[in-house]
Amino acid sequence: MQKGLKKIHSTQEESLLNLFKTAYFIGRNNLSFALYPSLLALMKDFDVKSMTSLYNDDKACSEMVQCISQSIMQETIEKVKHSPWFGVMVDKSTDISIHHHMVMYLSYLEEGSMPCNAFYGIIRTTDSTAKGIFDTIMLELERSNLDLSRLIAFGSDGCNTMVGRKKGVAKLMKDVNPMLTAIHCVAHHTNLATCDTSKKIAYAKKIDVLVNAIANYFSSSSNRRDALNDLQEEFDCETIKMQRIFEIRWLSRHACITKICKSLDALLVALEKERKDLYDVLSTFECIYALHFLADILQKVTNLSLRFQKDYVDVTTIHGIVKSTILCIKDEYLDERELDLNAAQRGIGGYPIMPDYGATNGYMYALRTSLKGDMFFGQKIMRDVEGVDLQNALDFQFKYAKKLCESLEKCFVDNSTLHAIKILVPAQHPMHERLLKEYGNDECDTIALFYGIAKRVANMSFAPIIDGEAFKVEFRKFKRQEGIDFAKMSLMEVASLLANNAIWKDAFPNILKVCQIALMQCCSIAICEQGFSARTKIKNKWRNRLEIERLNALMVISIEGRDEFDFSNAMEIWKSETSRHLFTQEGSQPLMFDA
């Protein structure tokens, strides 16, 4: 009897597992719940064992998707609870139904040293004020029973609602934990620097207008697009679509300008007869030079932005990377050589030869090798033999490059505390012993002052995170030891060694805490943009009435779901929600399954 009941129970479990696997497949592949019955019927046709005729409608599929989502989130919250610190990243957006949403991610450490990000949820917001957003975040964290004293980092975009000094969300978060540090997304900073530069320089604005006008001209007619595609094939160009510049889209300006450069000869032919106004601007040497220069210099900012859009950005490397980019721009574009038009070396047709600015094999290099007098890939362009247009183009280059460097420096002002943590990265330490002895003393004091002293906010006292004086002693010992045991290590490697070795953990407990805090910093919220991309795929024009609970569950599965998934916890959640007829009480007649 017992053996028979065990067999029946095993069959029931296998049947339920098949149902959950099908629902999971629906969620992972962004399919309609209406397909659920058809997929189950297909499985029966393939003689899949242990199939049941119960729970085979879209409502059952929705319930199972919710249970799977809950199971994933329970696992995520447990990981966050086991982390010594955690951070919050948020961003706001509007969906296809004009509903205001906030995406929320959590950052945490696994094994004490491995930074991870996890999707927490998408939340419908009705109050978009700083107080409303703050209350929503706090409600979610309290609902998940997370310890707010371990909330050490906050990441957002740079709008006043988020980062306002007096009443912004970041300020309200610091009132909850004054040890918290808030960061304006570094990837967003790079886009702001580019936009600010283009708005401040008149000729750059003219280039933006030209690029958008060309994109509008071809996008408004399929015949024009087809004609341009034919010309692109004829001139052996890459077949690409012209696009408008959108300020809010990262990297948009660079992508649009490079498309113009790649199809310039085809565009000149296409515009010559139909849009003489655009042709007259595009066919000038000054414009062609400016386009190739912008394609080149914006590639530097694009590379910077892409580095900052990775899942993990080391807070100790940000200013070094930005500084390196600025130096590269100055080296390649701001060598303001004296150009004597009378004495300038002349090339084909007596036109002045272009100076060799820009990166090797970049767009400006391609322009120099393709331009033969006043001919560009067989197309005649307007060029001044006296070189006045070259001088104007160079003036624009110097102004733009200088302003871009200034904008980057302005956007990436040092946060003294976080920037000071670089002293805990042996790879950045000076090699000379005499320099190492004096290295980092001021930064050490800054760290000890911020994390090692009790703070008071609104009559509430907050204990220090580290022992400031002990931290200074540890740092002096750390510098002596680093050449032997920590040489050339990154921040993550130092944290891993200290966290997973009992001897080092006891020797440098305060340094370990500061390293872990640094690893938790939410430097980039690019991952939130990925969350909104997932939302757009799920809640599209065919599913624009999707409720927030179902949308959230599908997003959790889409973003956090794995190929190999253990359904046992999700199945237990499903069983506990209500009385399920799939499971009978002991001694009663068991359910019969279809063969």
And the tokens for 52? 């049941």
- What pLDDT does residue 594 have? 41
Q: Mean pLDDT across the stretch 27-45?
A: 91
Mean pLDDT of the chain, nearest integer: 88
Q: Of 363, 380, 411, which closes a domain? A: 411
- What pLDDT does residue 7 have? 55
**Is the pLDDT confidence value at 50 over 80?**
no
Q: Of 484, 500, 519, which closes a domain? A: 519
Rounded CA separation 337/355 (Å): 9
Residues 342 and 487 in one domain: no
Identify each DSSP E strand in 352-469 by its residue range.
Answer: 371-372, 375-376, 379-380, 455-457, 460-462
- What pLDDT does residue 117 have? 96
Q: Mean pLDDT across the stretch 345-356?
A: 76
Whole-model pTM? 0.88
Residues 405 and 432 in one domain: no
Residue 103 pLDDT grade (very low, low, confident, very high; cuts 50, 70, 90): very high
For residue 240, is it within any domain? yes
For residue 276, is it within any domain? yes
Helical packing angle, 36-45 and 58-82, nearest 10°? 100
- What pLDDT does residue 397 have? 95
**Is the pLDDT confidence value at 388 over 50?**
yes
- What pLDDT does residue 543 have? 84
Q: List C-alpha distances in Å: 524 to 160, 215, 246, 253.
A: 17, 31, 20, 20
**Is the pLDDT confidence value at 39 over 70?**
yes
- What pLDDT does residue 10 have? 66
- What pLDDT does residue 339 have? 58
> ∠ CA(199), CA(201), CA(203), 5° rounding?
110
Residue 372 pLDDT grade (very low, low, confident, very high; cuts 50, 70, 90): confident
And the tokens for 205? 């604005």
Rounded CA separation 312/310 (Å): 5
Higher-scoring residue by pLDDT: 11, 140? 140
Residues 391 and 422 in one domain: no
- pLDDT above 70: percentage of residues in the chain: 93
- What pLDDT does residue 328 have? 94
Rounded CA separation 509/82 (Å): 18
Residues 58 and 44 in one domain: yes
For residue 119, is it within any domain? yes
Q: Mean pLDDT across the stretch 461-466?
A: 93
The residues pairing with 352 across neighbouring beta strands, listed in sequence order, are 346
- What pLDDT does residue 434 have? 82
**Is the pLDDT confidence value at 249 over 50?**
yes
Residues 471 and 546 in one domain: no
Residue 340 pLDDT grade (very low, low, confident, very high; cuts 50, 70, 90): low
The string of pLDDT tens digits covering residues 146-162 is 999 999 999 998 888 99
Residues 278 and 175 in one domain: no
Report how many domains make up the chain: 3
Residue 589 pLDDT grade (very low, low, confident, very high; cuts 50, 70, 90): very low
- pLDDT above 90: percentage of residues in the chain: 63
**Is the pLDDT confidence value at 569 over 90?**
yes
**Is the pLDDT confidence value at 71 over 70?**
yes
Rounded CA separation 534/558 (Å): 7
Q: Mean pLDDT across the stretch 310-319?
A: 90
**Is the pLDDT confidence value at 588 over 80?**
no
- What pLDDT does residue 242 have? 93
Minimum mean pLDDT range among 19-28, 290-299, 581-590: 581-590
Residues 28 and 155 in one domain: yes
Minimum mean pLDDT range among 11-20, 306-315, 471-480: 11-20
- What pLDDT does residue 584 have? 43
Q: List C-alpha distances in Å: 259 to 205, 212, 263.
A: 18, 12, 6
For residue 524, is it within any domain? no
- Write out the residue range of the structural domain in which residue 251 sits: 190-411
SS3 89: strand
- What pLDDT does residue 335 have? 77
**Is the pLDDT confidence value at 586 over 70?**
no
The string of pLDDT tens digits covering residues 158-203 is 888 998 888 899 999 999 999 999 999 999 889 989 999 999 999 9
**Is the pLDDT confidence value at 80 over 90?**
yes
CA atoms within 13 A on the CB side of 343: 3
Residues 253 and 398 in one domain: yes
> ∠ CA(248), CA(251), CA(256), 5° rounding?
100
For 88, list phi and psi in degrees, rounded to 5: -125, 135
**Is the pLDDT confidence value at 461 over 80?**
yes
Residues 20 and 60 in one domain: yes
Higher-scoring residue by pLDDT: 330, 411? 330
- What pLDDT does residue 9 have? 55
- What pLDDT does residue 299 have? 95
Residues 282 and 302 in one domain: yes
Rounded CA separation 171/181 (Å): 10
- What pLDDT does residue 488 have? 85
Residues 219 and 131 in one domain: no
**Is the pLDDT confidence value at 480 over 70?**
yes
The string of pLDDT tens digits covering residues 420-435 is 999 999 988 888 878 8
- What pLDDT does residue 578 have? 77
The string of pLDDT tens digits covering residues 497-525 is 999 999 999 999 999 999 999 999 999 99
For residue 243, is it within any domain? yes
For residue 525, is it within any domain? no
Rounded CA separation 61/58 (Å): 5
Q: Mean pLDDT across the stretch 11-28?
A: 90
- Name the nearest CA neighbour of 320 among 332, 302, 308: 308
Q: Mean pLDDT across the stretch 209-225?
A: 94
- Name the nearest CA neighbour of 107 among 489, 493, 529, 524: 524
Q: Of 411, 439, 465, which closes a domain? A: 411
Residues 465 and 363 in one domain: no
And the tokens for 531? 């969350």
**Is the pLDDT confidence value at 321 over 60?**
yes
